[in-house]
Every structure is written in structure tokens, then in C-alpha cells.
């Protein structure tokens, strides 16, 4: 959030997530598109996902399905218009003109998510909705993330004598691990953010 601290009850404060990698933790893993999205800009995200010191190439795994592009629906529609994925001669039988949907960037899947809102030019969300007019794309190598439990679901019954009622309370504690060879957030290389996309 760009303008103010988000409310403590916001769900996205539970973890430092994928956009946080490129916009805050390791700014070398982000790029200001400065205009319209292109196939070259999307493919360049893979190149930035390299850990030279530890010889890990997160952008080019053995299984191409490990790398996923995630974007907001408006940017996904703009990507669907790219010549590289629109026509049969460039993208084969999965071309948008035949299937009506964008399946992948190169050999990597593209996922559109409503959880990815439009942003300001700096890639962050404004509290003023009309400022959020730019698109962005997060590219991530999924094995670089792990979700786990700090504590499994706990169910308790709490008596409320003043109301002559009982309340069932459940709670859990999850965790999200983002791999870093150095152990520091600045060493995370498994994700990249492309922002400031004009729509």
C-alpha cells in the first residue's frame, strides 16, 4: 500500500508475498515497463531470476511448468493481444485466436487472478482507487515457496454465561517460506515483478 499503513486486519499482512520480493526485498528482481507490455519484457523476467553466486537459475527450470506468470485480469487481456501468442504461425495450436484464452508465455503458464489489483506506476496499490491504473506481472518459480503450519487447526468451545450461549472458536497459524540462498530477504531470486504497464 502506497499512501498509508494498511489496517492491521488486512489479510495480505500475514506474509511477505511475491510482489514484495521485487518491490521491496530484492529490487534487482523488478523492472519498470514504462509503457505497454511486450513478449520481450515478459521473457526478460526469467533472466533476472538468477542466483549467480549459488549457480541457481530459477527462471529456466527443468520443468517449465514450475515457473508461472501471475497477473491481474486487465493485464492478462493485454498480453492476450500480443502477436507472439495471438496467431497460429507464432504460437501453434494454443494460439489465442484458436482457443480464446492465453495459455502461456513461451512454455510457462500465465494465470490471471483477481487478487492482483491494478497499481500505481511504482507497482504499489493506492488507497485512492482512481490512481490504480497500471498493470503488473509477477513471475515465480513455485518450488521456491513452501506453505506450512506453525500450528494446526485448534477448536475450542467457550461458554458465555451472560448470554446463556456457547461459542465455538477455531484458530490456526500458517507460515509461508520464500527460499533465499543467503537466508536474507535481499537474496530471494525465485520471483520477479514487471510493473508500470500501460493499459
CB 59 within 8 A of CB 142: no
How high is the pLDDT of residue 100? 44
Taken in order 34, 37, 39, 43, the sign of the CA dihedral is positive
The pTM of the full predicted model, rounded to 2 decimals, is 0.80
How high is the pLDDT of residue 102? 58
Non-local CB neighbours of 55 within 8 Å, separated by 6+ positions: none
How high is the pLDDT of residue 66? 93
CA atoms within 13 A on the CB side of 98: 11
pLDDT along the chain (199 residues), means of 10: 82 84 94 93 94 92 91 90 65 54 74 90 91 95 91 93 94 88 91 95
CB 126 within 8 A of CB 120: yes
3-state secondary structure of 66: helix
What is the spatial distance between Cα 139 and Cα 194, in angstroms, rounded to a whole number?
8
C-alpha radius of gyration, the chain, whole number: 20
How high is the pLDDT of residue 92? 61
How high is the pLDDT of residue 65? 87
What is the spatial distance between Cα 70 and Cα 164, in angstroms, rounded to a whole number?
49
How high is the pLDDT of residue 89? 54
The C-alpha cell at 141 is: 518459480
Amino acid at each position: 500500500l502506497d499512501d498509508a499503513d494498511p489496517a492491521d486486519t488486512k489479510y495480505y499482512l500475514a506474509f511477505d508475498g511475491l510482489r514484495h520480493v521485487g518491490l521491496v526485498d530484492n529490487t534487482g528482481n523488478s523492472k519498470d515497463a514504462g509503457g505497454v507490455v511486450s513478449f520481450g519484457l515478459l521473457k526478460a523476467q526469467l533472466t533476472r531470476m538468477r542466483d549467480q553466486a549459488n549457480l541457481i537459475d530459477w527462471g529456466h527450470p527443468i520443468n517449465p511448468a514450475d515457473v508461472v506468470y501471475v497477473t491481474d485480469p486487465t493485464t492478462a487481456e493485454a498480453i492476450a493481444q500480443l502477436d507472439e501468442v495471438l496467431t497460429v504461425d507464432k504460437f501453434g495450436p494454443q494460439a489465442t485466436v484458436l482457443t480464446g484464452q492465453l495459455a502461456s508465455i513461451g512454455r510457462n503458464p500465465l494465470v490471471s487472478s483477481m487478487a492482483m489489483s491494478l497499481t500505481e506506476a511504482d507497482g504499489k496499490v493506492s488507497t485512492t482507487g482512481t490512481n490504480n491504473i497500471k498493470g503488473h506481472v509477477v513471475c515465480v518459480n513455485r518450488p521456491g515457496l513452501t506453505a506450512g503450519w506453525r500450528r494446526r487447526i485448534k477448536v475450542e468451545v467457550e461458554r458465555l454465561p451472560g448470554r446463556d450461549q456457547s461459542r465455538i472458536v477455531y484458530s490456526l497459524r500458517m507460515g509461508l517460506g520464500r527460499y533465499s540462498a543467503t537466508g536474507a530477504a535481499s537474496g530471494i531470486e525465485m520471483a520477479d515483478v514487471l510493473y508500470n504497464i500501460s493499459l
